[in-house]
Structure 1
Amino acid sequence: MGFSFMTLLACVCAGTGVFCMSLFVFNLLEQLEIEKRETSRQLPLMFKMLLPFTGNVTPIVNSQFLDTSKKQAREQIMMAGYDQLINEKQFVSVQVLMFIFGVFFCLLFIAGKQPFLGILFLALVYLYPKIWLKSVVKRRHLEIQKSLPNVLDLLTLSVEAGKDFLTSLRDILARRKRDALGEELERTFREIQLGKQRRVALKELSQRVQQPDLSMVLNSIVQADELGVSIGQILRIQGDQLRGKRFNRAEKLANEAPVKILFPLVLFIMPAVIIILMGPVILKSFNILFK
């Protein structure tokens, strides 16, 4: 009896140890994922190298003829989620510095009788910051677009179960992994907690991200809040519309796949197939003709 009790106790202790170890590993992996995401949002090396010298071009950046560029840069930086790392003046300053260096190397290319390469290098150097920022915005919008329907379904179920909007949002943020949409919703949730009106915070979120699907959902929630309509019903309607749009996008991509495959098929696969099939015949013909 004592042996059986000790065996049972050992099994319980072992099982508890395995459970605790699994829980620890899971939490560790989740924390590493969050840290990886936070550290992955870094400025390119060229920006890091030029940011200390942005003060040298401050008079140029503060001039009025760059106001439009600064406004566009501010919107793009907000949409990319990089507003904590760089502001619009620093971004435009980096553009000005890269243009100056580009002009310098362009003159060197022209002196070396390579004007085309010089002009091409100048254009690439000047356009690089805009191209990089637009690619980040596009990637972030795509990530938000993919995760929005699932978040909306969870939010709908939670609201229809009797919870209020903020409680539902808090529970979803606590259980979801940290992604682009989660970061923006968490920022909005904190603003509401600090006293900002919900409709104002949601409008600012829509203006900050400028993702069409998210803006449509947020505008519907704001209108429902202003008119006193049930938010749960609005969320369910928006969720159905987003699922329909996601299905249509998937169908469109599936229809475009054969056209996209055609070019690499003709350029890479067909020549290899022809060489494999016709190669021995051609070699044998050459051997017969030149024997």
Structure 2
Amino acid sequence: MRFHNALTVIIALTFLGVSLVLCFIAVRGAIRENSRVERRLAGGARLDEDADVGIGAKSRAKRNLISQLGAHLTLPDAKEITRLRFMLAQAGYFDRSTVKTFLAARVIFLFGPAMICLLMWGSIAAKLGTKPAILICFSLAGLGLLGPERFLKWKAGKRTDQCRKGFPDMMDLMTACVEAGLGMDAALIRVGHELGGRYPALKENLDIMNLELRAGRERNEAMINFADRINLDEAKALAVMLKQAEEMGSSVGKALRTFSEDMRHKRMMKAEEKAAALSAKLTVPLILFIFPTIMVMLMLPAGIRIMEGLAG
């Protein structure tokens, strides 16, 4: 009993100490940020050039503690930061501070459920025992560590599905705009406006691509970034096709129409393949679930009669 009490105290003090340190770091970062903004306002200095678009001094002064905590937890590895930023962009989070917020949220979800378990340790340990309670705490901590990244992948998958559904409509609109005489940049802007109501994820990525083009980035590079964000093979093929059409001097309108028809044909073939494979996929559940049920229904009356005959 003494061992259990000592173990409980050690675990509680460990999580409490880590949580207090993290909270101290967050509060210190917020105080420093507020002081820096106040000095700039007093001196009449403008914001940094790398500040987020549309974020003024007052909004920067009110930045939440989660983002401040993440500023101290940013990984030193540039490749890991790039990977996280790309994953967040696929999930629809394009702000510059999203990486810091994500890292802070991962730490909070790591220690938050465990702290709740520690606060309720008496009732949990009394009902389940010490070892199951410890296992629950570490399981919740593991879920908190992996949960935010799983959530991003789930949201990125939903946005990819939405972009996949809207991509044929985007191609039809782009083809119509180019054949009507609009330039490629103007066609992309018009398509983004037309798709905003039905496919907001596709519109957001098109708007980002248009902003990249306005900033001076080459169209091929902007199209490749667009394809990477929505994670569609058709978009990557579109970027390659447009680059080849511009280099060879062929008609972009005809190339877009041919590409659109070929893409729809490939999608129809994939749908037919899935429909043809459906019967084979149904074989396993048919054997495992339906046939045993039918056999029970057929053999149950005979079994009951046999049991009655043996009993009589």
Contact 1:103 1:122 in 2 (8 A): yes
Alignment partner of 1:75 is 2:94: no
TM score, norm. by length of structure 1: 0.65
1:283 aligns with 2:295: no
* CA-to-aligned-CA distance 1:141-185 (integer Å, 9 cap, x gap): 222223212321332244234443344445544444431223322
Q: Does the 8 A contact of 1:80 with 1:140 survive in 2?
A: yes
Structure 2 counterpart SS, 1:81: coil
Paired positions, count:
238
Contact 1:73/1:92, CA 8 A, preserved across alignment: no
- 1:215 Cα offset (Å): 2.0
Contact kept? 1:106, 1:119, Cα under 8 Å: no
2:229 to 199, 208, 211: 208
Name the Cα RMSD after superposition: 3.5
Higher RCO (CA-CA < 8 Å; seq separation 6+):
1
| Residue type of the alignment partner of 1:156 | T
Greater shift in the superposed pair: 215-224 or 161-170: 161-170
Please tell me whether residue 89 in structure 1 is matched to residue 104 in structure 2: no
Q: Does 1:165 align with 2:165?
A: no
User: Cα gap change, 1:160/1:247 in structure 2, threshold over 3 Å: closer, same or farther?
Assistant: same
Describe the SS at the equivalent of 2:178: helix
1:229 CA drift (Å): 3.1
Q: Which amino acid aligns with 1:134?
A: K
Tell me which residue corresponds to 2:74: 62
Instruction: Return the offset for 1:118.
Output: 4.9
Matched, 1:131 2:150: yes
Q: So what's the TM-score if we normalise by structure 2?
A: 0.62
Which amino acid in structure 1 is aligned with residue 156 of structure 2? V
* Cα deviation, residue 197, structure 1: 5.5
Return the offset for 1:269. Answer: 2.9
Does the 8 Å contact 2:245/2:255 carry over to 1? Answer: yes
Structure 2: how far apart are the matches of 1:101 and 1:68? Answer: 28
Tell me, in whole angstroms, the C-alpha distance in 2 between the residues paired with 1:101 and 1:86. 22
Gaps of 5+ in 1: 1-50
User: 2: CA distance between counterparts of 1:54 and 1:170?
Assistant: 33
Q: Tell me if structure 1 keeps the 8 A contact 2:69–2:100.
A: no
CA 120–256 in structure 1, closer or farther in 2 if over 3 Å, else same: farther
CA distance in structure 2 between the partners assigned to 1:243 and 1:285 by the alignment: 61
